[in-house]
Every structure is written in C-alpha cells, then in structure tokens.
Chain A
Amino acid sequence: MSDQEGKDMKGRPRGLLSSWRFLVALLVAVVVYAYGWRETEINIHTLITGAPDIVHIVTQIVQPDLLARDKEYQAAYAEFQLPCAATPPSQPARSESEPYLVLSHTCGSTGEPLSVEGFNFRPNTRGTLRWTPPVGTQRSLQHIDSDENGHFVLAVSVPAVEESEQVQEIEAELRWNVGIPYPSETLRVVLDKMVETVFLALMATTFAIFIAVPLSFLGARNLMGGHRGTVILYFAVRGFFNIVRSIEPLIWAIIFAVWVSIGPFAGVLALGMHSIAALGKLYSEQVESIDPGPIEAIRATGANALQTVIYAVVPQIVPPYLAFTIYRWDINVRMSTVIGMVGGGGIGFLLIQWVNLLRYKQAGVAVWAITVVVWVMDYVSGVVREKIV
C-alpha cells in the first residue's frame, strides 16, 4: 500500500484496520485457518485429557533397559485340592533351614479365603505367589515381601480355575539381584545396530560423492554453456537432480527394499540415491559461483582444459564440497535412524518393532542411542566444518 492510499481526503493517515484490502485479507485468512483447523481435526481437549495415557510410555522410555544383573531364585511349594475330596493333600514338610509354606487349609472351593504363610525365606526380599492348576495356565496371585525373619503371611482367595481331582500347586518364589550390573541384551543389540546405522550413512554418503562430483560439473551452467549438446546435457542433469531430490529417502527405501530385499543395503541405496541429487545440486551451484578470474589467468598461461580445471576450478571448490559432504553425512546419520522403519536396515527397524510390541523400555534404549549419536555427529561435523571453511 502506498502512502497515497493510506490517507483519506483530508490527508490524515488512515489506520491499517480501516483499509478494505486489509479487512478482505483478514477475512480470507480467518476462513482458511478455520477450515484448516477442522480439516486437520485439531482438538485441544484431547491434548489435555490424553496426556495421562502417555505417562507410562514416557516413564519407560526415560528408564531404558540399559543394564541387567544376574538373579537368584528361592521357591517353596504347597498342594491344594479343588474341590475337597476324601483325602485332602497334606501340608508341606517343615524344615529347619529350607523355606516352606503352610496353608490355612489344603482343600476348598473357588472364592474361599485362603491364608498362605511362608517360613525360612530370604529376609526382606520380593517375590510372587503363583497358582498352577493341573489344567490351564499358571496365574500370579499376589506380590510377596518377606520380613526381616524371612517370614510372610498372605491372605488370598482361591482363584476361579478348573476343578480337578488332581492337586493344584501353589508356588512362592522370591527373586533378588546378585553381582554387578552389566550391559543388557537390549543395549548390546542396539549398539550393534547403531554401528550398522553409522556405517549405512557412511557408505551412502561415499557412494553419493563418487557419482555427484562428476555429475556436478555437468550440472554447472558456467561450464556447460558452450554448445547446444552440452546445454541439453546440463538440463538433463539438473532435471535428474530435481526429480530424484524431490522423492524422500523413505520412499526410495520402500522401492529398494523390494528391489534388493529388506536390509541395510536397501538403506544404503535409498540414502545414496537421495544424496546424489542433493549433493549434486549443491555442488553444481558451487561450481557456478566460482571466481572466473583464476580460470582466465590459467588459460592465459597456455594450460589445457584438464590443467585449467585442476589448477583454477578444483582449489576453489574443494573446501565448500567438503563442507556440504559433512553436512550431508550428518543428515544421512539422522535419516538412517528412521529408514529402518520401512525396511532399510539400521536401528529404525528395531525401534519400530519394539514400539509395535509395546516394549517401551527397549524402545527407550534405541531412542537414547539415536539421540546420543545424532548429537555427537552434529557436534563433530560442526567442528570440522568450522575448521575447513
């Protein structure tokens, strides 16, 4: 809006709000955003009411399954008959040193209260009371906490299991950790896959460099402007870069997972493909922005075309090429963590599996590993780029 239009007949400036163009724009904006709100099903209410649902996921993710310890067990058994028959099972034998259970009665019916008392167990230890019917599956009845004398009393009710002439088994098992913590199986698997992930990014970036560098010269207007043929080649290369670059690595991963079957090789190809185009475009723009002065000077010495490229072009493009390459490798490490979700190998495959199995403690390990690796790569590439550019 010019100054003229912003003033009324008396020459006083009018407020922004009284301009009809502004009001129309405002109205259009309101309609667009209202429609967008509806279309994307934005619902602030669920954002608040749904929050408790993620608490247990988050608490498990922040307590990842990093370390494990060896466990020792102690168990004692008792027999119970459901329903009562002519001769109910006898109470377990009492011992001076071994743990044993004492039941309030050894036969009865479903739902009846039953008291289970334990003696000579390991003091101050946790465990579980389980019920094993002769037919069907075992079930856990209650947690056990032994006191300082290794004694506990539990009040349970006879569970609704199938009645049988055979005896039902009651088991009290206590567990405790021994020895020093060591890396969990999860951590070992994650580290193994993380190495695969980092190498996946390395291989993809390296392959991309070898193809993108020669292509970048063909995609530089200042080098390819000479003849009709070279101009056609220039447009072909640029078109290839733009099309390939506009297809996300995840889509490439799906294509290559079918092509070379699921695994890290598919991931290397997917990231490599995208990187060729992305690097190629950045490289060729760098070639286009070099200083023509040195080229002129080197040509004037009687140098041939190869010498001109090596002495006048290469020294100008090596540092920016390195910077772009490190940046790309950085992106590829980040991308390789998710490419596994669609079959491209690396840590993403584990992560999506654990999430689908609701094993969030394991998923947490993968999430933390990704965070650490990406952070370290970010930092390292930042330092390296600063050094060379």
Chain B
Amino acid sequence: MMKLARTDRSAWTELMFTVDKGILLCVFLLMAAGLLVGLVASPAVAERLHLEPLHFFIRQFTFMLVAIPLILGIALLDATAIRRLGFVIFAVAFVGLLILPFVGMDIKGATRWISLGSFSLQPSEFLKPGFIVVLAAIFASVTEQNRKQISLIAAAITGLVVMMLVRQPDFGQTSLIAASFVIMLLLSGAPRRWIITLMTIGAGLSVAAYITVDHVRTRVETWLHPGSGDTYQIDLSLDAIARGGVTGQGLGEGRIKHVLPDAHTDFIFAATAEEFGLFACLALMTLFSTIIWRGLARSLETIDPFTQLATAGLVSLFGLQAIVNIGVNMKVLPTKGMTLPLVSYGGSSLLALAITSGMILALTRKRAASRAVSHAGLVRGGG
C-alpha cells in the first residue's frame, strides 16, 4: 500500500484523505459483484444469442476499465467543477435525445440508442446525472421571493426532458426523472401543498398513460392481475428467487439465465438470487443502502445549498433506480426496463452510473463541502 502523508499534495493522496471511503468501497464492491454475476449469468445469454460465451463479460470488463478512472477522476473535482460538468453532460445528452429519432436504432420497439460502431450509447442514461446537477444548481438559488419563478424554470426543464423520453417511449426513465424532480422540489423547501398537487398530477398522468399507452397498460394489468397477460418474465424471476432460497442453487446451477434474455441486465438480481441465495441479495441491498445512507448523511452535514441538493438528488436517483429494479424483480412494482446500478450489464448504464457515483464521491468529500462554501458563493451571495 502506498504510504500517504498529509504533506503530499498529489491528486491521489488528496483523494484518499478526503473521499468518503465507505461510499467508494460500496461502489467498487457493487461493480465487482456485477462482474462476478455477469461472469456466471451472461455466457448462457450469449449462447442463446449465438455470441461468444464471454462476449458480455469481456465487454463489461472493458467498460469497467473506463469506468474506474472516470469515477476517480470525477471524484477529484470540486463543487464548481461538478456543476460545470453536470451542465455539459446535460446539454450533450439533451442534444443526443433530440437527434435520436434521426440517428437512433430501434431496439425492442423503442428508439433509445445511438450507434457508435460496435458500441451504442443511450443518451437518456447520461442525461439523468446531468439533469440532477442542473436542477440542484437552479434550486440552490431559491429564496422566498423567487421561489415560484425558480421552481417554474426547473419544472419547464423537467417537462422538456419528460417529453423527449415519452416520445421514445421510455416510461421507466420518465418516472425516474419525474420522481427526481419532486424530490429536488421537496428538498428546496417548496410548500407542502405544491408537493401534494404535483403528486396528484403525477398520479393523473400515470392513469392517462395507463389508459392511452398499450404497453404501459399491459404491464400494469399483468402486475395487478397475474394471469391476465403474459407474466412470463416476472414468473421466471420470482421462481428464480424462490429456487435460490437461503443458500442458493450454487455456482452455475442457475436456470433463469438459460431462458430469460435479460438475465444479465434487468433481471440480474433474480439471477443472483438463484445462484447465490438470500444472503448475497441482502449483501447487494446492504451495499446500495449504505451508499444511500452515507450519501444522505453527508448531504445533511453540508450547508452549501448546491452541494446539499446535488448530493441528495444524485443519491436519490441512484437509490430509486436500485429500488425500482429490485422491486420489479420481486414483483413489488410493475415491469419497467431499468438496470440495477453498477451491477447490470450495459455500457451506457455503467458509464452513466460511474459518472453519478463519481459526482456523489466528489460532493461528499470532506474538503469539498467547505470548499463549496466559498466557491458556490454562500458567503459572497448571502446576506
């Protein structure tokens, strides 16, 4: 182990002294878990698709080689830089979403991807962390006088993003974005009745989507009344978790990966449960909840509004995505296409979550908090 000294001002020592090691450890453990489960689950899926057995594993490994420096690099930034980075990512991803209908590829009935040679990018994945940072920056400047205007601007941006996502259509990401907006609004100190009104509108829109959009309705009905539709995926997922039981079926003994095409992406939690059992699932869930818990605790300690809002927002985004994914795997929620953060196979998803984690790490650094005070202009702008 490298010897670290306070006098050493290199980036690495700076990072090691200031970073929240708990969160960092959880992030790496989740990625390692993803690689491990991917190694067990993905060859079967690859075989069904007539690809090389290690096709997905090798690709995921390659993505990780990019993701790790990305996480550490972003973690070194200070709040101002994170804010800039967030705006840039948001702008680029937004443009990506805009041009998607013209350059995108259709996968399973939705246009979500831009092809870059052998690798395809999903702009909506990258949009999410950028979106949170932008909202945090906007809401950070809220005062009692400008609350309405500020909130309207944030709502307008959210509306734009939602429109783009609904067009694809991608209702999973849409609900995630909408939920993030409500959380940010809540944290910014908006009156309670606003939140209640918004949730009512949200419920109304969900009902509207249920009525007008076929695949949303099918999914909800399948969830509420098993037997009314094709519950195949979710049945398999529940079966796999049940088969796994407490101790798991054992390494390589999983079945779901042979029959479910998404066993290495959206249903990787079920695949984990089947082979490794209850305790592995609890361990995964502990890693996620530790990130959420520590992130929120750090956010609580901060006084700079931007850092506080951005941290809480990014952590919520991360946590919500994990909860929705696991919830779908266990049939607590209707089926949505959503990956398990850092664990599921997928380049866009992994890189976008590397950015998210890097930002969380940057904003929760010990010094970042106090630096943010001066940079974000709490002192200068206050009073």
Our verdict on whether A and B bind, yes or no, reads no
A residues with CB within 8 A of B: none
